[in-house]
């Protein structure tokens, strides 16, 4: 994955647990890079090893970390200068979920080696929507839950995200059933664990 992703993980850990903890995680993962270049592409293996090592060092399930990472991603990309892409997602959460492929297509103009996920929506009502997630990667489903929560936060909405169908259970993709529970004040900071 692009360095932008690994940088986001590094930033999240450093903010909540400090540089020393990150250095321990990096050492345990056997990752030599002290800095990730956001526009360089790194093997997915690097990200997976960092998440596994973070899970051990922080004594937190990897799924929880991926969820926290997803929640933080929307805010992180805004701070990193991708706010315009997020603003163009549209005025509602429904619009945003429907526009994720178009948004990643724009990201691919900047990051030519991007292997983006693919999304489709169904079952749309005022307060419900199903998100179908296709990827050549595996194991990232908890991250989608956090991503949708983080996106909801951007629209000042509290959402419930249920992982309704997992890839591999007779299905070639994951499905998430999303329910809008109500409006909230945007949260300033999210705990990592």
Q: Summarize as ranges the residues that interact with ligand HEM (CB under 6 A).
A: 1-2, 4-5, 74, 77, 82, 85-86, 100, 104, 107, 111, 114-115, 117, 135, 137, 140, 143-144, 147-148, 151
Q: How far is the CB of 64 from ligand HEM (least distance, A)?
A: 17
For residues 153 and 187, the answer to whether their CB atoms sit within 8 Å is: yes
For residues 137 and 167, the answer to whether their CB atoms sit within 8 Å is: no
Q: How far is the CB of 85 from ligand HEM (least distance, A)?
A: 4
β-partners of residue 183 are: 157
β-partners of residue 27 are: none
Q: How far is the CB of 151 from ligand HEM (least distance, A)?
A: 5
CB nearer to ligand HEM: pick between 86 and 164: 86
CB nearer to ligand HEM: pick between 59 and 84: 84
CB nearer to ligand HEM: pick between 137 and 162: 137
Q: How far is the CB of 39 from ligand HEM (least distance, A)?
A: 9
CB nearer to ligand HEM: pick between 6 and 55: 6
β-partners of residue 174 are: 133
CB nearer to ligand HEM: pick between 52 and 85: 85
Among candidate residues 135, 103, 133, 108, the one with its CA nearest the CA of residue 120: 133
Q: How far is the CB of 191 from ligand HEM (least distance, A)?
A: 20
- How many whole angstroms from its chain centre is CA 99? 16
Please give the Cα distance from 164 to 89 (Å, whole number).
Answer: 24
CB nearer to ligand HEM: pick between 100 and 180: 100
- 159: Cα within 13 Å, side-chain hemisphere: 31
Please give the Cα distance from 137 to 115 (Å, whole number).
Answer: 9
For residues 2 and 40, the answer to whether their CB atoms sit within 8 Å is: yes
Among candidate residues 63, 59, 68, 55, the one with its CA nearest the CA of residue 15: 68
Q: How far is the CB of 160 from ligand HEM (least distance, A)?
A: 15
């Amino acid at each position: 994955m692009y360095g932008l992703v690994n940088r986001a993980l590094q930033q999240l850990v450093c903010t909540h647990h400090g540089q020393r903890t990150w250095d321990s995680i990096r050492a345990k993962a056997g990752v030599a890079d002290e800095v990730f270049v956001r526009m360089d592409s790194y093997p997915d293996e690097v990200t997976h090893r960092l998440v596994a090592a973070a899970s051990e060092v922080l004594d937190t399930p990897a799924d929880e970390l991926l969820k926290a990472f997803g929640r933080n991603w929307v805010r992180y990309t805004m701070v990193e200068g991708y706010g315009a892409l997020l603003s163009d997602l549209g005025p509602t959460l429904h619009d945003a979920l429907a526009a994720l492929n178009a948004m990643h297509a724009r990201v691919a103009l900047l990051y030519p080696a991007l292997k983006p996920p693919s999304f489709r929506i169904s079952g749309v009502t005022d307060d419900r929507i199903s998100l179908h997630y296709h990827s050549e990667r595996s194991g990232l489903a908890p991250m989608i839950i956090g991503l949708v929560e983080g996106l909801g936060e951007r629209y000042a909405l509290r959402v419930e995200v249920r992982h309704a169908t997992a890839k591999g259970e007779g299905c070639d993709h994951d499905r998430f059933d999303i329910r809008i529970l109500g409006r909230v004040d945007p949260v300033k900071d999210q705990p990592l664990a």
